[in-house]
């Protein structure tokens, strides 16, 4: 069963400069919690126990976040402020963290391949923490996908409908509908212009991948933007066997963009913050 979750978190986050000059994008707080922590909580809710994080230069703050801070904890021990750390402590009790570095930023596909050393030969989940997913009325998006994996045993990408003019920001799929919210992928294009897009179903930052993806990625040539694209590797997997696209239940905020980040902050402050 799926136990590990990979977090590719080595990107430069240029859309958030200057904030991301010396701080990882994944540590930007939505209200009072960094993006990466929302992602880890979603993974824990899906029953995953090992968090494998692909980092890069200047990303040490993430490792410190999922570690004890003895001075701080000693300082606030016995005070009412201790409760602010309960969430992160419980995460550390429930999960194991491992890290590796992507030495050169050669794209998301390359970042996932860099994580092979932490994952090994088993199916795994992938979370892009800058896509913040909230599903107040149902299980988290990863939990929904882990449930589907148990049934279908193949790679799964989460998709949502986007306005046609936005297709060039995403990987876009075409597929045969096998349930009203599940498609068997027949085509996948990275960042197509609206006139070339096969549909408006865009891949968001949640994946379940079978481990054969690593061999495919090793043989995947750089694609759009000169980067190794996970979309190209998944298209190969779809041709060889099966990849499903799942229209998840819930809301996604594109926190890699300033507008999406502000929207997420307002939503979380109004609906989740106590």
Task: For the CB of residue 133, give the shortest distance to ligand UTP in the complex, in Å.
Answer: 13
Does 8 help bind ligand UTP (rule: CB under 6 A)? yes
From residue 64 to residue 103, the character string flagging contacts with ligand UTP as x (rule: CB under 6 A) and all else as - is --------------------------------------x-
**Which CB atom, from 6 or from 243, has the smaller least distance to ligand UTP?**
6
Task: For the CB of residue 161, give the shortest distance to ligand UTP in the complex, in Å.
Answer: 20
DSSP bridge partners of 244: 156, 184
Does 108 help bind ligand UTP (rule: CB under 6 A)? yes
Single residue of 3, 12, 95, 250 touching ligand UTP by CB under 6 A: 12
Does 39 help bind ligand UTP (rule: CB under 6 A)? no
The set of residues, in sequence order, having a beta carbon less than 8 Å from that of 150 and lying 6+ positions away, is: 1
Place of tokens 């449930």: 147
**Which CB atom, from 111 or from 268, has the smaller least distance to ligand UTP?**
111
CA atoms within 13 A on the CB side of 271: 12
Task: For the CB of residue 30, give the shortest distance to ligand UTP in the complex, in Å.
Answer: 15
Tell me which residues in 143-182 interact with ligand UTP (CB under 6 A): none
CB 146 within 8 A of CB 223: no
Neighbours of 58 (CB within 10 A): 14
Single residue of 44, 53, 54, 148 touching ligand UTP by CB under 6 A: 54
Q: 235 preceded by cis ω (within 30°)?
A: no
CB 157 within 8 A of CB 207: yes
Single residue of 23, 76, 85, 105 touching ligand UTP by CB under 6 A: 105
Rounded Cα distance between 123 and 167, Å, is: 28
**Which CB atom, from 5 or from 9, has the smaller least distance to ligand UTP?**
9
CA atoms within 13 A on the CB side of 211: 13
Does 255 help bind ligand UTP (rule: CB under 6 A)? no
| Ranges of H-type helices in 28-107 | 35-45, 60-65, 70-76, 86-94
**Which CB atom, from 182 or from 220, has the smaller least distance to ligand UTP?**
220
Residue nearest to ligand UTP (CB): 11
Does 237 help bind ligand UTP (rule: CB under 6 A)? no
Rounded Cα distance between 246 and 181, Å, is: 6
Does 13 help bind ligand UTP (rule: CB under 6 A)? yes
Q: How many helices (H) and strands (E) does the chain have?
A: 10, 13
Question: CA 77: distance to chain centroid?
Answer: 34
Which positions lie near ligand UTP, rule CB under 6 A? 8-15, 25, 54, 102, 105-108, 110-111, 128, 130, 256
């Amino acid at each position: 069963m799926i136990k590990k979750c990979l977090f590719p978190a080595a990107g430069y986050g240029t859309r958030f400069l200057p904030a991301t000059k010396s701080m990882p994008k994944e540590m930007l707080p939505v209200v009072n919690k960094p993006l990466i922590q929302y992602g880890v909580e979603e993974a824990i809710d899906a029953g995953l126990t090992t968090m494998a994080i692909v980092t890069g230069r200047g990303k040490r703050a993430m490792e410190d976040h999922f570690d004890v801070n003895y001075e701080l904890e000693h300082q606030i021990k016995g005070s009412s402020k201790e409760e602010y750390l309960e969430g992160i402590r419980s995460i550390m009790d429930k999960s194991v963290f491992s890290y590796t570095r992507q030495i050169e930023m050669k794209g998301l596909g390359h970042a996932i391949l860099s994580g092979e050393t932490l994952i090994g030969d088993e199916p795994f989940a992938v979370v892009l923490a800058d896509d913040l997913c909230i599903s107040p009325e149902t299980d988290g998006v990863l939990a929904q996908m882990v449930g589907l994996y148990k049934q279908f045993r193949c790679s799964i990408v989460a998709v949502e409908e986007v306005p046609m003019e936005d297709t060039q920001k995403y990987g876009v799929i075409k597929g045969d509908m096998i349930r009203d919210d599940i498609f068997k992928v027949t085509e996948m294009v990275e960042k197509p212009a609206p006139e070339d897009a096969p549909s408006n179903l865009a891949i968001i930052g949640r994946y379940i991948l079978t481990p054969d993806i690593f061999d495919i990625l090793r043989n995947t040539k750089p694609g759009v933007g000169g980067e190794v694209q996970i979309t190209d590797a998944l298209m190969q997997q779809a041709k060889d066997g099966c990849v499903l696209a799942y229209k998840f239940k819930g809301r996604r905020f594109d926190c890699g963009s300033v507008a999406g980040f502000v929207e997420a902050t307002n939503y979380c402050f109004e609906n989740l913050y106590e």
